[in-house]
Structure 1
Amino acid sequence: MKQTPNTVFLTGATSGIGLGLALRLHELGDKVIISGRREDRLDRIAAEHPGIETVPLDVADPARIAEVADEVTRAHPELNVVATVAGIMHPERLLDPAHLATAEATVTTNLLGTIRVLSAFLPFLAEQPEAAVITVSSGLAFVPLPLTPTYAATKAAIHSYTESLRVQLADTPVRVFELVPPAVQTALMNQEDDENAMPLEPFLSEAMALLAAQAEGELLVETVKPLRYAERDGSYPQVLAQLSHF
């Protein structure tokens, strides 16, 4: 990705990977605008990190996405990076009819939220001299966690969508990155203290190094590669069996 200075808009950046990326980019000297559903967290982050701008956004609300895209691009005509980090992850029991509400919310936030945000910003980014899009899939896009079937399905869809996006934007100034996290110690699925998950700060350091080094493509930290390449390496059945115990 283009070296600093960039102007970056991130969704889902009030905690976890989204906030971590925002703070790392801010420290590098980029102009950072973060969004999220929780206005109290946005206010606290802005107070603790002067220079970071905030805007409330629930990516499940298409009308609000359009409003925010207009607001952000008007206020920051130099905007050249959009990162779609917003996502939810909940367990589902597929024989329980109640799981359908969870599945629908997950698709709306994780998949449609990403598509709608990109749709709103891409025409603007395509007019910039240099620009980038960062989507966030998961190692579970390649081997699912059976406990969270719709989450894994949306991340597989994000991977496929990003592949197509990269091809369609090849003749534009917009470079396309796909961040593929492993399990990371964040509030997602209450993994903050999960010893099987990668600590957040080392993950961020490795991801930022990859982002700086690559022209575009998948951003794969070492920990996620056993999931990413399980089918290629012939270990898919074993990895799926391991994940099935969670």
Structure 2
Amino acid sequence: ANRYGQITYRCAEVAKEALAAGKDPIQAIVENTVESLNRRYSTMQIVGDHLAELIPQGGTILTQCFGETIIGTVIRAARCQNKDFKVFCAETRPYLQGARLTSGCFAQMGFDTTVITDNMVAYAMEREGIDLFTSAADTIARDGHIANKIGTFQIAILAKYFGIPYYVTGIPDQDKHSKDDIVIEMRDPQQVLSYRGIPNTVPEVKAIYPSFDVVPPHLISGVVTDKGVYVPYLLDHYFDSDVKKFY
């Protein structure tokens, strides 16, 4: 919500400035958007570089959902570092972003990639040699709580049980001070009750579809940002200065 709000308001301001200057507002919005995306990609490439450094050579990682630009940037970083590793992707029901998007990115870039259903995580952690669990975050609060696609919390619990580090990637939200500032969106339960038009249940059955869950800081090994890797309890220091910090 923060990101789209910023994008929308900025587009409106750019359009007003262009109109006042007698210029084409649409062209101005396009140019500003490209500049904004380039800044974002540059920032996230630094995050991807830091994450790639945490992945052991020849190791195995587990992903959750689709981390947008971080997937592309960590792949690019790994290739630049001549680092190879195996990837297990939780499929991420009910919308299957992990299966449809994340797994394809890694596989098509030459990584040994395996998709598992969301209820196979404990099996994979116990028997498939998972070295690291990583996910992006839709929101990172300043107190170290993060919100990500539903199912992330339970994977984080399993990672803690099996002694597997969990690294979250992203930029903290300055206006999110604690988990109390995180709002969970409830989505259309029909996506749980059916898939591609085929019902999964009889008509009398109900469903819920919370889009995200919140992971507490004690389950997170580190938050990987453009300024370094932060212990979640010290994440508030991200806003202290522009000096890169590693904890």
Indicate the TM-score class for this superposition, using the shorter chain for normalisation: 0.3 to 0.5
> When you count helix as a share of all residues, which structure comes out higher?
1
Q: Greater CA radius of gyration, 1 or 2? A: 2
| Structure possessing the higher relative contact order (Cα contacts under 8 Å, 6 or more residues apart) | 1
Q: TM-score, normalised by structure 1?
A: 0.42
